[in-house]
Amino acid sequence: MITYDGEIELGRNDECWCGSGKKYKKCHMEFDERLQALADQGEDVPPRALLKTAEEIKGVKRSAEVNVGVLDFVAEHIGEGVSTEQIDQWVYDYTVEHDALPAPLDYEGFPKSVCTSLNEVVCHGIPSSDDILKSGDIINVDCSTIRDGYFSDSSRMFCIGDVSPEARKLVEDTKHAVELGLAAVKPWGHLGDIGAAIHEFARSQGYSVVREFGGHGIGLEFHEEPFVSFVTRAGTGMVLVPGLMFTIEPMINLGKYRIDMSDPNGWTVRTKDGRLTAQWEVQIVITEDGYELLSW
């Protein structure tokens, strides 16, 4: 028999697919029956290839240790007068000194080790010696790490010097939006619950949410299925099956949601109206009773 995700159904006494070494009937058989039933009901059920095994989660945690360490290092050193090129150098050096590689470097031609997105830059800003941080700037530093083949990805905002109350509120509210997204995560719930919580809060504060970019599955690749939108309806989208690993990384704009992708460098994304934008990113894995935060 072929199952919902195109795999051949295992026999009760076969070894389970999850790598536990246990018999299927003593391991994931019931779990798989639940997935199959949901798929039969027309739910969007992740293929089991996306669900991370215990060993894979361990590998991702080792990768995330470095990723969190890089961002902690940046947090300690960032400030007025620092160039985004300098941040890139910190990220590269810290990462390779910890037996890992920065995932952005050479990723689809990206020229640097980290994305640094300043003020009206929504995402994918390229570090440069010409960009020197000054008082009043807000910046997203987005770090991604490969260690032993496992990927981690998270980003944080930094307020440089004296930032306007409006900018600071945007930064804090965007962090709060991620927390609300996390609070909406329920195993066997839906991916759309997260974006619904985030979008509702963002709108309540008069902001808009970027549509073209969002979170993503991650773990064995930098970007896996599913795409994680933050303009969704509750109860829609992929079922949050334990083992599913993805990022929550809304980009929230002070003004309109439209973006400008016309930069000749092919990467830098800006708000169309030129107003400020903010983003925080965390990486999680769904567990039997909730989720585990892997990178932040």
d(CA 214, CA 238): 15
Contact 170, 214 (CB under 8 A): no
Q: Among the candidate windows 73-81, 122-130, 227-235, 247-255, which touches Co ion by CB under 5 A?
A: 247-255
Is residue 104 part of the contact set for ligand MF3 (CB under 6 A)?
yes
Among 32, 56, 137, 153, binds Co ion (CB under 5 A): 153
Tell me which of Co ion, ligand MF3, none is bound by residue 110, counting a contact when its beta carbon lies within the kind-specific cut-off of 5 to 8 angstroms. Answer: ligand MF3
Contact 150, 219 (CB under 8 A): yes
Q: Verify cis geometry, omega within 30 degrees of 0, for the bond prior to 264.
A: no
**Nearer of residues 43 and 263 to ligand MF3, judged by Cβ:** 263
**Nearer of residues 32 and 249 to Co ion, judged by Cβ:** 249
Is residue 142 part of the contact set for ligand MF3 (CB under 6 A)?
yes
Q: Using alpha carbons, select from 140, 144, 174 the residue that is nearest to residue 159.
A: 140
Binding-residue total with Co ion (CB under 5 A): 2
Range 205-224, binding ligand MF3 (CB under 6 A): 216
The answer for residues whose C-beta is within 8 angstroms of residue 126's C-beta and 6 or more apart is: 110, 111, 112, 115, 116, 265, 267, 268
Contact 115, 123 (CB under 8 A): yes
Q: Among the candidate windows 46-54, 62-70, 102-110, 178-186, which touches ligand MF3 by CB under 6 A?
A: 102-110
Is the alpha carbon torsion for 287, 289, 291, 292 positive or negative? negative
CB of 33 to ligand MF3, least distance (A): 34
CB of 60 to Co ion, least distance (A): 13
Give the C-alpha distances (Å, rounded to integers) separating 8 from 11, 81, 169, 195: 10, 59, 52, 34
Q: Among the candidate windows 53-61, 107-115, 176-184, 229-237, which touches ligand MF3 by CB under 6 A?
A: 107-115
Footprint of Co ion on this chain (CB under 5 A)?
153, 247
Rule CB under 6 A: which residues touch ligand MF3?
Answer: 104, 107-108, 110, 115, 124, 142, 144, 153, 216, 247, 249, 281
